[in-house]
Chain A
């Protein structure tokens, strides 16, 4: 009986359980999350007496707080601002202690999701935070001109700076000398243009009848992906890019336009044109694997039965990573793909081990990671399957009417 149920409803039950557990994890995390910002006040302004902090201002849409701190005798010793900004893996909390004249005394980021070891640690190692100490609220505090950025940690750096600017806006308003947040400039440069070129080329090569015969052209787009998305800008499509939306921390589109083009371009094209234009065409890791396979020349493939079984593993890894990200409200824990270490040329020992094993295996098994492990292919295949299902059901509904009309 169990066997018959499994044969008939096994897949549907698994899908239902997977979706249910993801929704459950997301709801639980949102309901149980509590942020006690007041715990950070004494450390931000140590001169103030323990119970002498007073909330002066709260901006709900930015989760921004401004506290004043007094000494035990009652005299003002400064302010504390607590603001939120967008980092790589989610929102970060930026806590600043200000003097009564609004000079920065302390700066810390006690809550963040920048767990991509070692990228956030670099900010401490390279004394990024120290650059703000002693700066007055009236200084521009612009990145690259006033504050040096940190290579490989750009998104975290932008997040911290945005948090500082938001804190400055609160203090400046309190002092009666408003310093509004500067308009976020829309960043449209080389990478955004190259993304359009890359996606457009793949669409043309796969859909324009005259171009489809040029099979070698796939190697051109793969090389493009390897150079541009891989080693140049280090932005291969990653599960973390999907997880940040699932967790509810969409990055600002003005400063992350490339991310919007990449994700909505790949997903939108799959929905519109029913094809995966990323895997095997633009993915830089796919390109590396193909190179390794040419070098290795192995032809190991499992039997069709095992091929079918093993190709379900990416769905398990996708579910596990998303479940953890939703449960912990932390998109960066979803990242486990080998390309983070490979293209950023920086990673922990387990990341490099994954790179090594995957690339060596790719020498004997063609597109090893893509077929048997890649969560990105699982995401895109799921989108395509849902699309096919919706289309089939729609056609089933519409076709009797069409027949009738005919």
Chain B
């Protein structure tokens, strides 16, 4: 396991890059969604039939 202060391996750097990219991607989507909540553009809505577990 890599601890702080130890030099990172190539694999460790790749893992960091992958996670940073994925987190950034999701942050961008979240912020875009917050902006859409305010500007209310007409976006296509996708619906599935509700699961009838109760009335």
A residues adjacent to B (C-beta < 8 A): 115, 117-118, 151-152, 190, 231-233, 300-306, 310, 313, 317, 320-321, 324, 328, 332-336, 344-354, 357-358, 361, 364-365, 368-369, 372-373
Contacts and interface: CB of A to CB of B under 8 A. Distances in A.
Contacts of B18: 300, 364
Given A118-B45, A324-B34, A306 B22 contact: no
Interface of A is mostly: helix
A306 B38 contact: no
A216 to B, nearest CB: 25
Contacts of A304: 2-4
A328 B35 CA distance: 12
Given A152-B50, A361-B26, A333 B4 contact: no
B19 A310 contact: yes
Contacts of B38: 324, 328, 333
B41 to A, nearest CB: 9
A348 B36 contact: yes
A335 B35 CA distance: 11
Nearest to A116: B37
Interface of B is mostly: helix
A241 to B, nearest CB: 16
Given A320-B31, A373-B26, A350 B2 contact: no
Contact of A350 (B8, B15, B20, B32): B32
B38 to A, nearest CB: 6
B8 A303 contact: yes
Given A231-B51, A336-B33, A348 B45 contact: yes
Given A345-B50, A350-B33, A357-B26, A306 B45 contact: no
B37 A336 contact: yes
Given A115-B37, A349-B43, 17 more contacts: A190-B54, A232-B53, A232-B54, A303-B4, A303-B8, A303-B12, A304-B2, A305-B4, A317-B27, A344-B50, A346-B46, A348-B43, A350-B29, A357-B25, A365-B19, A372-B23, A373-B27
Contact of A302 (B20, B29, B53): B20
A2 B21 CA distance: 29
Interface of B: 2-4, 8, 12, 15-16, 18-20, 22-23, 25-27, 29-34, 36-38, 40, 43-51, 53-54
Contacts of A306: 16, 19-20
Contact of A313 (B2, B23, B33, B51): B23
Given A233-B54, A300-B15, A357-B29, A117 B22 contact: no
A335 B53 CA distance: 25
Given A117-B40, A232-B53, A305-B4, A353 B29 contact: yes
Which residue, of B33, B43, B54, has the highest number of chain A Cβ atoms within 10 A? B33
B40 to A, nearest CB: 7
Contact of A301 (B15, B37, B49): B15
A315 B32 CA distance: 17
B26 to A, nearest CB: 6
Which residue, of B12, B31, B34, has the highest number of chain A Cβ atoms within 10 A? B34
A364 B8 CA distance: 20
B32 to A, nearest CB: 6
A304 B16 CA distance: 10
Nearest to A321: B34
Contacts of B47: 118, 345-346
Contacts of A361: 22, 26
A358 B27 CA distance: 11
B37 A333 contact: yes
A189 to B, nearest CB: 10
Nearest to B14: A300
A300 B22 CA distance: 12
A345 B51 contact: yes
Contacts of A115: 37, 40
A231 B53 contact: yes
Contacts of A346: 45-48
A364 B47 CA distance: 27
A300 B45 CA distance: 33
Given A332-B37, A333-B38, A303 B16 contact: yes
Nearest to B12: A303
Given A300-B18, A306-B20, A348-B44, A333 B26 contact: no
